[in-house]
Structure 1
Amino acid sequence: MSSIHNADLNLIRIFDAVMEEQGVSRAAARLGLTQSAVSHALNKLRRQLDDELFIRGPDRMHPTPRAMELSSPLREALHQIEAAFQGPRFDPATAEAQFVIATSDYVIGTLMPPLLRRLQQVAPRVRFWLRPFNDLNLVEGLDRGTLHLVIGAFGRAPSRFAMEPLVSGPNVWIMRAGHPATDGAFDLTALARYPHLDILIAGQGAMTAGGTIDQEGLERAYVSSNPLQLDALLLEAGLTRTVGATASHILAVPPLVASTDMIAFVPKHLAEQHQVLAFRDPPYASPPLQISMLSHRTMGAHPSVAWLRAEIMAALHDHEGL
């Protein structure tokens, strides 16, 4: 009685070679074995399957009905095993894959359009799930492989994650065209004079003075007017500010600012996309916004993820204005 527990992969290889070559000597030459080794293996397989498998004819070996029945599924299984041992491969032109990327609405609205345009041409069957990372455990997602990439602004990161810089640019204060803040000096007094539209992607309890959130060793920065830092600067100058509204989605900020007297702190690239807005440089030292791509050093090395990372880099190279 035969079962998977006593199956021998070498016997299956020899069976497949004899089936294809229709002879022991030709199968032996193909496999680099002696004829006696092939004959011994066939006899062992015959005993396991309780079937003659091949009957010698004047010019070739004739398969039995049982051998014909086994041929196709065993050959397919061999091909699958060989493919598995060759290592993973990824063909974007034919792949039907889904990539999960955790990021912000700012990245979705600026980086993703050129990327998706590019990928429609080279990988028409690939799909993307763009997940907002506000409510996700990014570290756990990367570790478990439920997130392929995380794109955002980061400080330090665990060593098992690779961080690749994507784009960098300054932040500016935006206001509607014709706003009084577009004229004259734009200093701390001007900042205190007009109501602010704060941008916070996390609760007040998660904020730090540096504008970062720490999640299991991953330090994520967020685009905002950095209210803790700003309040400290104004307090030192004997000033206070008024917050007119707080938003958790940066792409909602331009239309809100365009229709009110509020001002907000956003990446300059976003401000430049809206002709109805004016912008001013901040009257204090402000580091540029650095957007980077995080991947797991092990899972991110899979050919499919490596391909996606390269495509993102290429898309940004073609659209340097981001």
Structure 2
Amino acid sequence: MNLLELFDVVWRTRNLTVAGEQLGLSQPAVSHALARLRRTYGDALFVRLPRGVEPTPLAVRIAPVVSDALRAIRDTLAKPTFEPQAARRHFRMAMSDIGERFFMPRLWMHLAREAPGVSCECLSPGLDELQQGLASGEIDLAVGFFPGLGAQIRRQALFSERFVYLAQKKHPLLRGDGGAAALRHTPHVLASPPGSHHLAAVERVLMRRDVRVPIVLRVRSFLSIGPIVAETDLVSPIPSNLAQIIAGHLPLRLIEPPIELPSFDVCMYWHRRFDDDPALGWLRRLMAETFGTQAPASSRRATRQAMSHAH
């Protein structure tokens, strides 16, 4: 590389002294390096004249190739960048049905404005498939609650989520604070999407000996909870952000749980191989800015307001 750099500078300057100054080499070092180049190519390459040097026919022939090769190598040393407005990129993101409903409308508004050439695809893989996909790059980012992904997976918390109850506006559970006793006589519908680890912790609380709620219906998607609760006397504990969205479109109210239910962190996950990928770094920053620690505060305020209206 050093010899080719010398060749390129001598070719451009036609002066050995100037070439040495640009490369920080002494005159003897320049002469020694040029001698090595001549032995390597079996050609004089540059011939001294009264004013500088002139290239031989072989030097003229190889000069563009050397210049292009050096440029290509320098480009590999330049830090890659991501320009959202000009980018053409397809992101594959793993998230639950709740994630799609909560994240994608607002995320897409930002993408349409800031990165019009970017498209997204949502996936719902199992844990093993998610680990492999993040490692291979087939999945760019996972968003939600995915414990146990391994030491190679990076994790960044966006916000802490909690469960609230969703019920009809005039449901008896809204009247008074009966604690666990009130729940024991209230039929429940629970959503159990595949791979939702935090739901097992909620169900363990609901099935404790001092609680024992009647679970009369199970569904696979949280997105069906709203219509079911709106048309029946069932209640359901669901994440507060989704509850707020559902209650804004159906005649439902949010209720503070009479018992303490576990909370969980909603996080972003990616493989450490892609720590410095500029496109994925931009996407992670966008997610953090849009849904990070400031977003939950406004969400909690809205949830408290929705609960106050119920009473």
TM-score by length of 2: 0.74
Query: Cα distance 1:179–1:67, how it changes in 2: closer, same or farther (>3 A)?
Result: farther
**Amino acid paired to 2:202:** N
User: Which residue of structure 2 aligns with residue 132 of structure 1?
Assistant: 124
User: 1:144-187 CA distances to partner (integer Å, 9 max, x unpaired)?
Assistant: 55544332225677555443321123311213445555456565
User: 1:94-118 CA distances to partner (integer Å, 9 max, x unpaired)?
Assistant: 5544544322232232234333433
Report the secondary structure of 2:262's partner residue. Answer: coil
User: 1:170-228 CA distances to partner (integer Å, 9 max, x unpaired)?
Assistant: 311213445555456565455455543322223xxxxxxxxxx7xxxxxx733478334
- Quote the offset at 1:287 in angstroms: 2.6
- Quote the offset at 1:282 in angstroms: 1.9
Compare 92-101 and 271-280 and name the one that shifted more.
92-101
The question of 1:226 aligning with 2:202 is answered yes
User: Which residue of structure 1 aligns with residue 98 of structure 2?
Assistant: 106
1:312 to 261, 266, 287: 287
User: Which residue of structure 2 aligns with residue 270 of structure 1?
Assistant: 242
Query: Cα distance 1:77–1:264, how it changes in 2: closer, same or farther (>3 A)?
Result: farther
User: 1:61-103 CA distances to partner (integer Å, 9 max, x unpaired)?
Assistant: 44455444433443233233234345x4323345544544322
Unmatched segments (≥5 aa) in structure 1: 1-8, 203-212, 214-219
Q: In structure 2, what is the Cα distance between the partners aligned to 1:106 and 1:69?
A: 63
The question of 1:293 aligning with 2:265 is answered no
Query: Cα distance 1:311–1:240, how it changes in 2: closer, same or farther (>3 A)?
Result: closer
The question of 1:89 aligning with 2:46 is answered no
Q: In structure 2, what is the Cα distance between the partners aligned to 1:186 and 1:23?
A: 93
- Structure 1 residues 173-212: aligned runs within 5 Å: 173-179=165-171, 181-183=173-175, 187-188=179-180, 190-193=182-185, 195-202=187-194
- Quote the offset at 1:11 in angstroms: 1.7
The question of 1:284 aligning with 2:284 is answered no
User: 1:284-306 CA distances to partner (integer Å, 9 max, x unpaired)?
Assistant: 11133421223445643555544
**Amino acid paired to 2:235:** I
- Quote the offset at 1:17 in angstroms: 0.9
Report the secondary structure of 1:284's partner residue. Answer: coil
- 8 Å CA contact 1:169–1:289 kept in 2: the answer is yes
Q: In structure 1, what is the Cα distance between the partners aligned to 2:226 and 2:66?
A: 62
The question of 1:257 aligning with 2:257 is answered no
Q: In structure 2, what is the Cα distance between the partners aligned to 1:64 and 1:260?
A: 91
User: Which residue of structure 2 aligns with residue 28 of structure 1?
Assistant: 20
- 8 Å CA contact 1:201–1:222 kept in 2: the answer is no
User: Which residue of structure 1 aligns with residue 305 of structure 2?
Assistant: none
**Amino acid paired to 2:218:** A
Report the secondary structure of 2:126's partner residue. Answer: helix
Q: In structure 1, what is the Cα distance between the partners aligned to 2:173 and 2:239?
A: 18
Report the secondary structure of 1:44's partner residue. Answer: helix
- Quote the offset at 1:263 in angstroms: 2.6
- 8 Å CA contact 1:176–1:278 kept in 2: the answer is yes
- Quote the offset at 1:31 in angstroms: 0.9
Compare 127-136 and 11-20 and name the one that shifted more.
127-136
Query: Cα distance 1:154–1:136, how it changes in 2: closer, same or farther (>3 A)?
Result: closer
- 8 Å CA contact 1:197–1:264 kept in 2: the answer is yes
Q: In structure 1, what is the Cα distance between the partners aligned to 2:127 and 2:149?
A: 18
Query: Cα distance 1:73–1:269, how it changes in 2: closer, same or farther (>3 A)?
Result: same
The question of 1:243 aligning with 2:219 is answered no
Query: Cα distance 1:130–1:70, how it changes in 2: closer, same or farther (>3 A)?
Result: farther
Report the secondary structure of 2:12's partner residue. Answer: helix
**Amino acid paired to 2:197:** A
> How large is the RMSD of aligned CA atoms in angstroms?
3.6
